[in-house]
Each structure stands twice: as C-alpha cells, then as structure tokens.
Amino acid sequence: MNRNSAFSYACNACGRCCHDKVITISPYDVLRIARAMQITTGEAIARYTIRRGSILKFIDHRGCVALDGVRCGLHRGRPLACRLYPLGIERVGDGDDDRVITLEPAQGSRGVYGGIGTVDDFLASQEVAPHLEANARYRELLPKFRARIYWLTDFDRIEPREFWRVAVREALAESGYDPNPLIDAIFDPDSLGCARDNDARTVAQHLTVLSKLICDEPNPAILASAAVMLAISLGYSPSEVSRP
C-alpha cells in the first residue's frame, strides 16, 4: 500500500495487540518513554526493555510491561511500532526506500479496519513523524561505524563472515553478552550528559557524542556489535553495516 491508500483503524482498547509480541525499539523510542514517564533513559531501559534497551519488555501471560489493564501506560511515549500498528514499515532493498504494510490483526483483537481516510492520515494521527525523522538521523551513524570498522580491521587476515557472525550474535544476545560501552551509550543519552529539556536537542547532542565515541573506539568487535544493534533497532538488516 502507499501513503495515499484508503485506510482507517478504530482501536477499541481491547489491549490484545499488547500481548505475544517482540517489539524492537530505537534509541528515540527509549528517549520518548523516559520523557513520558519522567524518568531517566537509564531507568527506562531497566524498567521497560530487554536486550540492553532494544526490545520492549513483555511478561509471560501478562503482555507488555507497560500495559495497565487493557490500556497503554505509556500512551504519550509509546514506541513507533505501537503507533504504527496495525501497519508496519518494511524496508525495500538496501536503499532508502520503504513501504507501508498491513500487519496480521492480533488474535482476538476488537480493532476495526476501514477506509475512511488514507494511510497518511492514520500516520499523522499517530504522530509518527518525529520518530521517523529521529530514526533517519540515527541511521547517519551507520556509515561512520562502517568506516571506522573497515579502517581498524584487516579483512584480508580476518574472515569477514565470522567477524560479522560474532557481532550479530553479540547484538542479539539477551543475556551473557560482553560489556559494550557503545551499546550502552546508544540507548542512554542521559548517562552521557545530553540535554533533557527538549527531545530535538537531546537527539542532536546524543548524535554528536556518539560520533565522537565511534571515532575514539579502538576495538572493532565493540564497534561491530554496536553497529549491528543500532541497525536492527532502527529496522534495518545487519547487512546495512556489514556489507563492504
């Protein structure tokens, strides 16, 4: 479907879409959760996420940790994936193209699909634009990661597929992973002293600090797992950073 396709969705607050999911979240999602709940980004990571800040925490049989009865306890700061539901954004190829897709309705959902309005109207009503804009800015870090990794690593001596396989395994590990200060920094701008008064300023300062950390990091393995983690959290495949 495209942005002008007829689409509408009436949420009937049944809470069904907040169960049995794996919801990947971005650095900006963590920031918005923190600001909505008036906690630090570090507290938001601990309270609402798993996998070092990159996945929304769900509890068996209870659903999302933010679910309050059948309502979202984070509504104002809910992540992009929750705003998009029952739509999703699918990346097309390796470029900047994406397309909007319709997701399978959650089992037992009482949401009602319709055609009153367009996809664009729905996206505007869910206020997804700041999320998409911030994610596009965080994506600008990926070439910086890639350049630094390829500068530091002699891939004539180190087998690239094994190097990236380890990086992906580290990025996807839910426990037992190695400490990685760059991954910590990606999801926790408050710990880096970034501005807290305005989301746009936080993102701008966060990107500046992360760029410096990437340039200063001498360990390609730390860079690679952080790069893969950032790519996945923004909805991209690890190949976004691993391709030569």
Q: How far is the CB of 199 from ligand SF4 (least distance, A)?
A: 18
Binding-residue total with ligand SF4 (CB under 6 A): 10
Beta carbon nearer to ligand SF4, 64 or 223: 64
Beta carbon nearer to ligand SF4, 66 or 213: 66
> How far apart are alpha carbons 6 and 4 in whole angstroms?
6
Q: Interface with ligand SF4 includes 131 (CB under 6 A)?
A: no
> How far apart are alpha carbons 107 and 234 in whole angstroms?
26
Closest of 226, 240, 241, 243 to residue 27, by C-alpha: 226
Instruction: Specify the pairing of strand 87-91 against strand 67-68.
Output: unpaired
Beta carbon nearer to ligand SF4, 68 or 94: 68
Judged by DSSP in three states, 79 sits in: coil
Site for ligand SF4 in 3-42 (CB under 6 A): 18, 23
Beta carbon nearer to ligand SF4, 19 or 144: 19
Write each residue from 82 to 101 as x if it is in contact with ligand SF4 (CB under 6 A), else as -, in one continuous string: x-------------------
> How far apart are alpha carbons 223 and 217 in whole angstroms?
7
Closest of 116, 119, 115 to residue 101, by C-alpha: 119
Q: How far is the CB of 144 from ligand SF4 (least distance, A)?
A: 30
Beta carbon nearer to ligand SF4, 67 or 166: 67
> How far apart are alpha carbons 221 and 206 in whole angstroms?
22
Q: What tokens does 178 get?
A: 């190695």
Write each residue from 48 to 87 as x if it is in contact with ligand SF4 (CB under 6 A), else as -, in one continuous string: ----------------x-xx----x-x---xx--x-----
Where helices occur in 11-115 by DSSP H, the ranges are 27-37, 41-48, 80-84
Q: How far is the CB of 110 from ligand SF4 (least distance, A)?
A: 14
Closest of 25, 18, 23 to residue 54, by C-alpha: 25
Q: How far is the CB of 18 from ligand SF4 (least distance, A)?
A: 3
Q: How far is the CB of 105 from ligand SF4 (least distance, A)?
A: 14
CA end-to-end distance (rounded Å), the chain: 32
Beta carbon nearer to ligand SF4, 112 or 147: 112
> How far apart are alpha carbons 99 and 91 in whole angstroms?
7
Q: How far is the CB of 79 from ligand SF4 (least distance, A)?
A: 6
Binding site for ligand SF4 (CB under 6 A): 18, 23, 64, 66-67, 72, 74, 78-79, 82
